[in-house]
């Protein structure tokens, strides 16, 4: 009949019979590796999320507007070629393509976002805006880069 009394200083204490104590450190190396890979992926993918037509936009001090789900993106590149979305529109077919999107005289035509290259002649941009207006698109927004410079 024996009883074992635990002593304060001797013995193994809480560890039990030769067990290992829990590790008190967190290994952050795998987390850092994953975060660096995600950072690289987002850095590569972010420029691709912008509209596909390369346009050098002019600067402006105007406040930005909210994007709508059903808006149409029309782009004019440096040569004056017209794109609806990312699809190039042949010369003379712009008004027909607009009519296919929203019939003329339609009350609820979607808003248009116009992206025009800064090197274009002002008359070319106005001509495209006139064609949009004639096709029944009354809400036209011009896209620019924000700038802190004064004109």
- Alpha-carbon span 14 to 113, nearest angstrom: 69
This prediction has a pTM of: 0.57
pLDDT at 107: 72
**Full DSSP string of 6-62:** PPSSSS-GGGTTTPPPPP-S---HHHHHHHHHHHHHHHHHGGGGS-SS---PPEE-P
Could you give the residue range(s) of every CATH 3.30.420.270 domain in the chain?
59-146
- Alpha-carbon span 1 to 39, nearest angstrom: 67
pLDDT at 106: 67
pLDDT at 94: 87
Residues 6+ apart with CB under 8 A from 74: 82, 83, 84, 112, 113, 114, 115, 128, 132
Q: Are 132 and 112 in contact (CB under 8 A)?
A: yes
Q: Which stretches in the chain have pLDDT values below 70?
A: 1-19, 48-52, 54, 56-57, 60-69, 104-106, 146-151
Q: Are 77 and 54 in contact (CB under 8 A)?
A: yes
Query: Thinking of the domain 59-146, which architecture would CATH place it in?
Result: 2-Layer Sandwich (3.30)
- Output the average pLDDT for the chain: 77
Q: Per residue in 13-49, pLDDT tens?
A: 555 566 677 777 888 899 999 999 999 998 888 776 6
């Amino acid at each position: 009949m024996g009883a074992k009394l635990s002593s304060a200083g001797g013995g193994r204490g809480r560890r039990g019979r030769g067990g290992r104590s829990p590790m008190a450190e967190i290994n952050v190396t795998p987390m850092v590796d994953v975060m660096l890979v995600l950072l690289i992926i987002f850095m590569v993918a972010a420029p691709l999320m912008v509209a596909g037509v390369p346009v050098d936009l002019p600067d402006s001090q105007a406040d930005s507007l909210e994007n709508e789900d059903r808006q149409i993106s029309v782009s004019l590149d440096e040569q004056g070629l017209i794109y609806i979305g990312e699809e190039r529109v042949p010369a003379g077919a712009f008004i027909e393509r607009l009519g296919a999107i929203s019939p003329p005289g339609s009350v609820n035509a979607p808003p248009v976002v116009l992206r025009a290259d800064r090197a274009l002649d002002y008359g070319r941009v106005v001509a495209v805006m006139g064609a949009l207006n004639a096709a029944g698109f009354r809400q036209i927004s011009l896209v620019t880069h924000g700038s802190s410079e004064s004109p």
